[in-house]
Amino acid sequence: MKKVELEIIALSHSVTQSHSFAVVLGEVGGTRRLPIVIGGFEAQAIAMALDNMKPTRPFTHDLIKTMCDTFEVELEYIYISKLLDGVFYSNLVCKRGAEYFEIDSRTSDALALAVRFDCPIYVEESILQEAGVEADASEGTEVTPQEETELAKLTNPEMPVNLSDMTTAELQQALQSAIENEDYERAARVRDEMNKRKKNT
């Protein structure tokens, strides 16, 4: 069995399932991409970790990370090992001391943990051949403007689309307020707008 290393390229709304999202994984050193449909909660968990947002109280995946750190369990890598009837199956490959062990996991949860542990993501080559898509080499690993727009919609699609009209100071105030109120969906949207402006300066 051949393992291929992947990295998270983007998050976007799923085009196949309503109220779901897709995490796009890209082949490290290659042009193939693997889109995986995940739930809204897991998508939010991945987005927050990618953006280095620290919740006031730990979310489920943050709690798991803290427990592993406390009991000296390392997440070495995650392995997307099987695709059956459209469902991806994954394992958490963990290490404690000299002992290695694998834990069955939903792929969405595994990805949310991989971001927090900063560990590699691997997929079985046959799965990439079956479900992967070839991307234009010129796209590289940069998130496209369309993917950025979808990511901005990810955490709270009901939030009014008026962030572009706010000043930088107003955005900073809105971000602080959202974090203090533990409204992380709104905070993620505000942070996306702030990051977009930084790229344009």
61-76 mean pLDDT: 95
Tokens of 75: 């997440």
Domain 3-140 sits in CATH at: 3.10.690.10
Spatial distance between the Cα atoms of 89 and 82, rounded to a whole number of angstroms: 5
Strands, E, within 14-62: which ranges? Answer: 21-27, 32-38
- Angle at which helices 145-154 and 184-200 cross, to 10°: 160
**Which of the four pLDDT bands, split at 50, 70 and 90, describes residue 148?**
very low
Tell me: pLDDT of 200 over 90: no
Among the ranges given (74-78, 90-94, 103-107, 191-195), the one the predictor scored with the smallest mean pLDDT: 191-195
Helix, strand or coil, per DSSP, at residue 26 = strand
Give, in order, the Cα–Cα distances in Å from 53 to each of 74, 102, 116, 171, 187: 22, 28, 11, 16, 9
5-11 mean pLDDT: 91
HEC profile of 61-78: HHHHHHHHHHCCCEEEEE
How many distinct helices (H) and strands (E) make up the chain? Answer: 7, 8
- H or E stretch covering 40: helix 40-50
Domain boundaries, the chain: 3-140, 155-201
Spatial distance between the Cα atoms of 9 and 48, rounded to a whole number of angstroms: 15
Tell me: pLDDT of 41 over 70: yes
- pLDDT at position 169: 79
Task: Quote the mean pLDDT of the chain.
Answer: 81
- pLDDT at position 163: 72
